[in-house]
Amino acid sequence: MQSVSPTAELPRTGRVLNYLNNGYTARSWLLSTDHKRVAILYLISVTLFFFAGGAAAVLFRLELMTPPGDLVQPETYNKLFTLHGIIMVFFFLIPSIPAVLGNFLVPLMIGARDLAFPRLNLLSWYVFIAGGTLTMYAALAGGVDTGWTFYTPYSSMFAKTHVTAAALGVFISGFSSILTGLNFIVTIHTMRAPGLHWFRLPLFIWSIYATSLIMILGTPVVAVTILLVGIERIWRIGIFDPSLGGDPILFQHLFWFYSHPAVYIMILPGMGVISELITCFSRKRIFGYSFVAFASIAIAVLGFLVWGHHMFVSGQSMYAGMVFSFLSFFVAVPSAVKVFNWTATLYRGSILLQTPMLYAMGFIGLFTLGGLTGLFLATLAVDVHVHDTYFVVAHFHYIMVGGMVMAYLGGIHFWWPKMTGRMYPEWWGRLSALIIFVGFNLTFFPQFILGYVGMPRRYYAYPDEFQVLNVMSSAGASILGAGYLIPLGYLLWSLKYGKLVGENPWGASGLEWQTSSPPPTENFSTTPQVTQPAYTYPHTEELLLG
Amino acid sequence: MDQQRDAASLGMWIFLATEVMFFGGLFAAYAVYRWSYPAAFAEASHQLNALLGAANTAVLLTSSLCMALAVHAAQTGSRRRLMLFLALTMILGSLFLVIKGYEWSHEIHLGLLPGATFTYVSPSPAFSATQVEMYFMLYFLMTGVHGFHMIIGLCLLMYLMVQAFRKRFTPDYFAPVEVIGLYWHFVDVVWIFLFPLLYLIGSK
């Protein structure tokens, strides 16, 4: 296996001022408007949320080891999957790549000193933490049992759990993603370095831009929807409850108008990361730059037109269902364009199988599987059969976990030396990437079969014949859990003992690799001038191998 | 400096796009229920005082004119005119809230506030009191959210007034006046949609 030789000299001994050693007090972190420090704040918070959401999953996977409900009460089971969904969707997946890697990288990649509104950026973290705290309070005070979708009228009129606090937490954290999206769009428009025109931008920036569009246009709608649920719940005034003259289907329309585009918030940034990883570790320019760039925008736009495919069996009109089905097939086109272009980029590249690349390869395979099963679900007749079964659960976990979490971990490993100035241990990295891939497939592939043969989701007990597949899934989940704990351990270890790296340990293109690792607070000592398109790798390859 | 001004202005436009989507959700709910219960909505709408609503529309439009003149004064560096027009905008904005508050208190007095205090009895078998309550739910929510935006706007204008008093604005630097002006016009435009949709349904 080839290894990457360091291209830059190691940092000089002696204390070079960078964003990490520029102040050690709590105040210098908690009141910092440096986008890199805010990114680290987000990194710590979403990691905590990830393991909290994961703990809930461990509990319900344990319950599902045996057919009868024996470990937890049915109410507890409902609270566990609700907590898992709410935390993972709103407090891990949505902020993961945008708020951690996006915050850290957007200014660096476009050669700017910071985001356009640094104080707004810090505010968005506090808003996020306020929303998260409220939701965690709801979880600890007794939990929520509505599912992460808060379907009415159950959530607004009947649920006896802490729906209001949890919904308010989601409402508040929504403003955090609105502020983040707004900040990114303005930054990308107004703060690019001289010479860095739109078609020289790294594709990660395009994907973050597309994600931000969804954040600013979708999130306000879910905010107003949650507000209406809160009003119906607190004052018992009819909005969505049919017995009060309301229309529960209206809730589903409003909810999915945001929440379907939101699933693209949970995959587009991952696609951006993959474009960076694939080009770097195959030492090639991306195949069809503008196709990949516009595919991101197309996904963001089409994503707003397909929400009705969540409602094929809800009682919406059959004709609406047909239109939504057709449009859902349509959104597969730009996604497939990306997969084809990544694959074509690999062709005759000098492929290096470092840890980030292993995650990228995992992403392509698992995302393809998740995407293709999405086509089954977009087909009206098939959806009626598998709606609300484990088939759906497996499908979206292939996208969210097999796609987004793989891309997130790949990105964290790739930019870890830039963020910390130290390299993670490569052997452990490869091992855990492999464990995660195996554990993931063992967890979720059996769920496709379970769903197809008829096991509904969200039930805490099931007939005996489903046990083998459920045990496989739970076993996979324990492997997956171990796979996630290993990086947590060695990444923390590397903070102190990792090998020091120079400014560009991967020999990667991109402006973020032209400043020191970790970068100084002001990012660049002189404003970079850009004269070349993105991913000028053949040149770097000569340097490395020649 | 130019870059900062561009950023502030673009930032406000994007924020207003999020606001359009936020109000859009409410307008969607309004459209669905007006489609479902046209008779109840027409009847409920007649309970409002369209004359006061029209007067308020005039007040708010005039305040937008004053805001535009304030931005112009900031551009030309005329501090006295800037402060005068900011003050006029604030006075008209406050007048709007006073009239709106009077309308609300009157409607609450008539028992039209949804919830426990809702005492409206349907005069016709064509629609139910619940449907009228749905209208008033949307009415109070939409005008309430709009009024909340007005109050935020007044606070922002107050901030501009203080900054203008401290001579912070020059013909080279007046981005805050410009972007808060944009916000004020947006809140005005929301009312332009609310007024006919809420007050003028089925009037003969």
Q: Give residue-wise pLDDT tens across range A280-291.
A: 999 999 999 999
Q: What is the mean pLDDT of residues A9-27?
A: 74
**Contact: B130, A244; criterion CB under 8 Å:** yes
**Is there a contact between A193 and A532 (Cβ–Cβ < 8 Å)?**
no
**Contact: B131, A191; criterion CB under 8 Å:** no
pLDDT at B203: 59
Is the pLDDT confidence value at B165 over 70? yes
> Tokens 């308010």 sit at which residue?
A168
Residues A156 and A232: their CA atoms lie apart, in Å, by 6
> A162-196: per-residue pLDDT in tens?
999 999 999 999 999 999 999 999 999 999 999 99
Is the pLDDT confidence value at A14 over 70? no
Is the pLDDT confidence value at A546 over 80? no
**Is there a contact between B3 and A190 (Cβ–Cβ < 8 Å)?**
yes
Is the pLDDT confidence value at A3 over 60? no
Is the pLDDT confidence value at A307 over 60? yes
Please state, for a pLDDT cut of 90, what percent of chain A lies above it: 86
CATH of the domain at B65: 1.20.120.80
Across the interface, of A185, A216, A237, the residue whose CB is closest to B114 is A237
Q: What is the mean pLDDT of residues A5-12?
A: 45
pLDDT at B71: 96
Q: How far is A422 from chain B (nearest CA, A)?
A: 35
Question: Nearest Cα to A273, choosing from A414, A367, A370, A398?
Answer: A414
B152 within domain boundaries: yes
**Is there a contact between A375 and A329 (Cβ–Cβ < 8 Å)?**
yes
Residue A205 amino acid letter: I
**Contact: B33, A247; criterion CB under 8 Å:** yes
Residues A441 and A473: their CA atoms lie apart, in Å, by 9
Q: What is the mean pLDDT of residues B136-162?
A: 96
**Contact: B7, A182; criterion CB under 8 Å:** no
Is the pLDDT confidence value at A255 over 60? yes
Question: Nearest Cα to A503, choosing from A14, A16, A39, A40?
Answer: A16
The domain limits of chain A are: 26-545
ipTM of the complex: 0.91
Name, in order, each residue with C-beta under 8 angstroms of A18's C-beta and a sequence gap of 6 or more: A421, A516, A518, A519, A520, A521
pLDDT at B1: 60
Confidence band for B115, pLDDT divided at 50, 70 and 90: confident
Structural domain of B142? 2-199
Residues A159 and A240: their CA atoms lie apart, in Å, by 14
Kindly list the residues from chain B whose CB atom is less than 8 angstroms away from the CB atom of residue A224. Answer: 22-23, 25-26
Question: Nearest Cα to A98, choosing from A5, A197, A192, A207?
Answer: A207
Residues A443 and A472: their CA atoms lie apart, in Å, by 7
Kindly list the residues from chain A whose CB atom is less than 8 angstroms away from the CB atom of residue B44. Answer: none
pLDDT at A15: 64
**Contact: A190, B3; criterion CB under 8 Å:** yes
Residue B92 amino acid letter: L
* Cα-based torsion angle of the residue sequence B151, B156, B159, B160 in order, rounded to the nearest 10 degrees: -130
Across the interface, of B6, B14, B115, the residue whose CB is closest to A185 is B14
Is the pLDDT confidence value at A244 over 90? no
Instruction: For residue B134, give the chain A residue with the closest CA.
Output: A238
Is the pLDDT confidence value at B22 over 90? yes
Q: To probe the interface with A, which of B34, B137, B142 has the most A CB atoms within 10 Å?
A: B137
Residue A69 in contact with partner chain B when CB distance is under 8 A: no
pTM: 0.93
Question: What region, left, alpha or beta, does residue B115 occupy, with left being phi > 0 and alpha being psi -120 to 50 degrees?
Answer: left
Is the pLDDT confidence value at B156 over 90? yes
Token digits for A97? 């790549």
Token digits for A256? 């999915």
> B23-50: per-residue pLDDT in tens?
999 999 999 999 999 999 999 999 999 9
pLDDT at A539: 53
Is the pLDDT confidence value at A9 over 70? no
Taking CB atoms and an 8 Å cut-off, how many pairs form between chains A and B? Answer: 92
Is the pLDDT confidence value at A117 over 90? yes
Kindly list the residues from chain A whose CB atom is less than 8 angstroms away from the CB atom of residue B19. Answer: 220
Is the pLDDT confidence value at B204 over 70? no
pLDDT at B132: 92
Domain count, chain B: 1
Pick the range with the lowest mean pLDDT from A224-238, A345-359, A384-398, B77-91: A224-238
pLDDT at A7: 42
**Is there a contact between A296 and A206 (Cβ–Cβ < 8 Å)?**
yes
Q: What is the mean pLDDT of residues A530-536?
A: 90
> A138-164: per-residue pLDDT in tens?
998 989 999 999 998 999 889 888 999
B204 within domain boundaries: no
Residue A245 in contact with partner chain B when CB distance is under 8 A: yes
> What Rg, from alpha-carbon coordinates, does chain B have?
20
Report residue A482 CA to chain centroid gap. 20
Mean pLDDT of the residues in chain B: 93
Residue B110 in contact with partner chain A when CB distance is under 8 A: no
Per CATH, which fold does A26-545 belong to?
A: Cytochrome C Oxidase; Chain A (1.20.210)
Token digits for A183? 């900040």
Q: To probe the interface with A, which of B18, B118, B127 has the most A CB atoms within 10 Å?
A: B18
Cα torsion B1, B7, B8, B13: sign = positive
pLDDT at A213: 96
Residue B152 in contact with partner chain A when CB distance is under 8 A: no
**Is there a contact between A413 and A478 (Cβ–Cβ < 8 Å)?**
no
Residues A448 and A441: their CA atoms lie apart, in Å, by 11
Instruction: For residue B35, give the chain A residue with the closest CA.
Output: A247
User: Rounded to whole angstroms, what are the CA distances from A192 to A199, A301, A511, B1?
Assistant: 12, 24, 11, 15
Confidence band for A11, pLDDT divided at 50, 70 and 90: very low
Confidence band for B202, pLDDT divided at 50, 70 and 90: confident
Mean pLDDT of the residues in chain A: 92
Q: What is the mean pLDDT of residues A304-329?
A: 93
Residue A185 in contact with partner chain B when CB distance is under 8 A: yes
Residues A139 and A82: their CA atoms lie apart, in Å, by 9
> A485-531: per-residue pLDDT in tens?
999 999 999 999 999 999 999 999 999 999 999 999 999 988 999 98
Helix axes of A35-63 and A406-420: crossing angle, nearest 10 degrees? 140
Terminal CA-to-CA distance of chain A, rounded, Å?
18
**Is there a contact between A238 and A232 (Cβ–Cβ < 8 Å)?**
yes
Residue B1 in contact with partner chain A when CB distance is under 8 A: no
**Contact: B115, A235; criterion CB under 8 Å:** yes
Across the interface, of A116, A217, A244, the residue whose CB is closest to B17 is A217
